[in-house]
Amino acid sequence: MLSFFKDYKIFAIVFGVISIVIVALIYNTLNVYQPLPVYQPTMVSTELVDSTLHYKKKYHKIADFSLTNQNGKTITQNDYKDKIYVADFFFTTCPTICPIMTKNMASIQKEILNDDAVMLLSHSVTPEIDSVAQLKRYAIEKGVNDKKWNLVTGDKKQIYELARKSYLAVKDQGDGGPYDMIHTENFMLIDKKRQIRGFYDGTNPEDIQKLLNDIATLKEEYLQ
């Protein structure tokens, strides 16, 4: 009888070890690192993409830019060199989705405040209204940290082309001036190579959490 229990104990131990190994293997298989996609114009709704890019399937990157932030400082792509950043398009007098988007961008700012690898960039779609002084007032009101988050204004043609040809983020109004645009609620996640790695609904808390998770995933990519 004692021999039986002894043999059973050994069997139980061996079975337990094998079970742990199997569970660990299954867990690792299901949690294999999956890189984020690299978005190309053909992967995005055509209404958000300039017609010249409708058939572009690879090598899409954010173009060089030179805009002015809430402090009157010139901001270029060099200020975001080797950074991951979240971009969006807004205007300070927007009464609908912009306040929600700005609030959610502020929540992202809070999460990445001490992370030197991540920054934020918000482009005004009404630069004729959003002067430096106006952006500064808005930045103070919304709690913008100048070291992490630039609100930029500038030449409307350049902002339009960035929105339509780089970030693939706004609709062409069509019935106004040549550079009139209707911004969307989209937040874009941009990697260190200036590639788009994700689109998110800037008014949706669940998408904001997904964005934060994807930032962590993107950071992991640079450790591979």
Residue 143 CA to residue 140 CA, distance in Å, equals: 5
What pLDDT, on a 0 to 100 scale, did the predictor assign at position 29? 42
Nearest to 105 by CA among 130, 139, 63, 70: 139
Nearest to 184 by CA among 83, 84, 100: 100
Handedness of CA 145, 200, 167, 159 (dihedral sign): negative
DSSP string computed for 52-99 = GGTT--S---PPP-EEE-TTS-EEEGGGGTT-EEEEEEE-TT--SSHH
Calculate mean pLDDT across residues 77-87. Answer: 98
Q: Is 123 annotated as a binding residue?
A: no
> What are the tens digits of pLDDT across the range 29-76?
445 668 999 999 999 999 999 989 999 999 999 999 999 999 999 999
> What are the tens digits of pLDDT across the range 193-218?
999 999 999 999 999 999 999 999 99
Q: Is 54 annotated as a binding residue?
A: no
**For residue 80, what are its two tokens?**
């975001």
pTM of the model: 0.84
